[in-house]
Amino acid sequence: MIAITASTLFTPLERIEQPLLLMDNGSIVEVTSQARREIPKNARLVDFADGILAPGFIDLHIHGGAGHDVMEAGDGALPPVERLLASHGVSSYFPTTVTAPLDATLSALGRLADAIDAAERDPQPLENGKPRARPLGIHLEGPFISHKRRGVHPPENLLTPSPAAFDRFWQAARGHIRVLTIAPELPGALEVITLAASRGVCVSLGHSNADLDEARAGFAAGARHATHTFNAMRPLDHRDPGILGEVLTDPQLSAEIIADGIHVDPVIVQLFLKAKGPEAAVLITDATAATGMPDGRYHLGSLEVEVKDGKCMVGDSLAGSVLTMDRAVRNIVQFAQWELQQAVRLATLNPARVAGIKDAGAIEAGTPADLVLLSPGGEVRKIIIRGAAI
């Protein structure tokens, strides 16, 4: 058994000063404080001094990093992405596709399903003593999206939604699709939303030109989340509130945001947080292969992306980001003057709930020991995944 002490622990709903966390065989056994419980005599003590323990971060929407895209062929793409994620506090993630030729998408889904199955068989992935983030499910972003709000998704590869088309992706992914981004205004979209939701998929509205009624129809059919809010959506208008009007005013809907200060101005991040609150806001990175790399040219699916001064561009359009999750958490503290504990929730418990993952995003007895050690300023000092690398 291992006993871990630190200055503070965020569950994240509860803040515990001078915590005592007991861990055994990669799982959390007990979470308490040093004032309430003596350290067991048979336990190995690990003291993190003035550090803050929090759940490992979860990224619902990420395309790559460390020079690699999650849709790349071969076995060499995901390990460097996962090492980079772990170094920024991410313990689990949802590799996210981008619209591509059908065969390429089906092949990528199969490879990602293999990686998820492998992670389930080997719950403590270590490489030269360093942990790697674990893929928990797939986020299918495209091809059921709006031509008008497609962003950089190739128009020739967009598809009209249909249950048959979705089922083909579902079979290729062997049921590992956990998040689906779709534009509700497209013909056939409501049927796909209903089907996906019935299979436990979190259906997210995005890359959409939906008006208010079309958005409400999508949510009524089973959607419950919004993809990178404000980006690739019909703009908010005081006489035509569109999809944003519903996303920002319905407290039952969760919504994600890219808090890099580039995709959304910090003032709008504040507005978003006031609308969604700490219960329904979710941080994502939308990170591309360029994350953690110098300026240059990289790939997003089949697209070539140019990165300069922190911006990922295809022509004049933004194409993902180079944001890391620890930076996003710190940006929330800076942009909105939130407490670190509140910001951490947006990268842990909230994305876990959105994806329907019950044993991630919180520090509690009986769950895997996915932990990140932060400095008082929110910098990552250490990552522990399924108890590994302690």
pLDDT of residue 125: 64
User: Taking residues 201-224, what's their average pLDDT?
Assistant: 98
Q: Which residues pair with 304 in a beta bridge?
A: 299
Q: Which residues make Cβ contacts (< 8 Å) with residue 293, sequence separation at least 6?
A: 66, 67, 307, 322
Please report, to the nearest 10 degrees, the dihedral formed by the alpha carbons of residues 287, 338, 91, 204 taken in order: -60
Nearest to 356 by CA among 251, 202, 174, 252: 202
User: Taking residues 133-160, what's their average pLDDT?
Assistant: 97
Instruction: Give residue limits of the domains in the chain.
Output: 56-358
User: Taking residues 33-38, what's their average pLDDT?
Assistant: 95
User: Taking residues 362-383, what's their average pLDDT?
Assistant: 97
d(CA 248, CA 54): 28
Claim: this prediction has a pTM higher than 0.85: yes
Q: Tell whether the model's pLDDT for residue 250 goes beyond 90.
A: yes
pLDDT tens digits along 258-301:
999 999 999 999 999 999 999 999 999 999 999 999 999 998 98
pLDDT band at 124 (very low <50, low <70, confident <90, very high): low
From the candidates 286, 309, 359, 370, which is the catalytic residue? 286
CB 110: neighbour CB atoms within 10 A? 15
Q: Which residues pair with 90 in a beta bridge?
A: 57
pLDDT band at 75 (very low <50, low <70, confident <90, very high): confident
CATH of segment(s) 56-358: 3.20.20.140
Q: H/E/C letters for each residue in the chain?
A: CEEEECCEEECCCCEEECEEEEEECCEEEEEEECCCCCCCCCCEEEECCCCEEEECEEEEEECEECCEECCCCCCCCHHHHHHHHHHCCEEEEEEECCCCCHHHHHHHHHHHHHHHHHHHHCCCCEECCEECCEECCEEEECCCCCCCCCCCCCHHHCCCCCHHHHHHHHHHCCCCEEEEEECCCCCCHHHHHHHHHHCCCEEEECCECCCHHHHHHHHHHCCCEECCCCCCECCCCCCCCHHHHHHHHCCCCEEEEECCCCCCCHHHHHHHHHHHHHHHEEEECCECCCCCCCCEEEEECCEEEEEECCEEEECCEECCECCCHHHHHHHHHHHHCCCHHHHHHCCCHHHHHHHCCCCCCCCCCCCECCEEEECCCCCEEEEEECCECC
Q: Which residues make Cβ contacts (< 8 Å) with residue 236, sequence separation at least 6?
A: 242, 244, 245, 248
Q: Tell whether the model's pLDDT for residue 42 goes beyond 90.
A: yes
CB 317: neighbour CB atoms within 10 A? 11
pLDDT band at 390 (very low <50, low <70, confident <90, very high): low
Respond yes or no: is residue 309 known to be catalytic. no
User: Taking residues 4-11, what's their average pLDDT?
Assistant: 98
Q: Tell whether the model's pLDDT for residue 137 goes beyond 80.
A: yes
pLDDT of residue 301: 84
pLDDT tens digits along 186-199:
999 999 999 999 99
Q: Tell whether the model's pLDDT for residue 48 goes beyond 80.
A: yes
User: Taking residues 362-374, what's their average pLDDT?
Assistant: 97
User: Taking residues 39-61, what's their average pLDDT?
Assistant: 97
d(CA 190, CA 134): 32
pLDDT of residue 24: 95
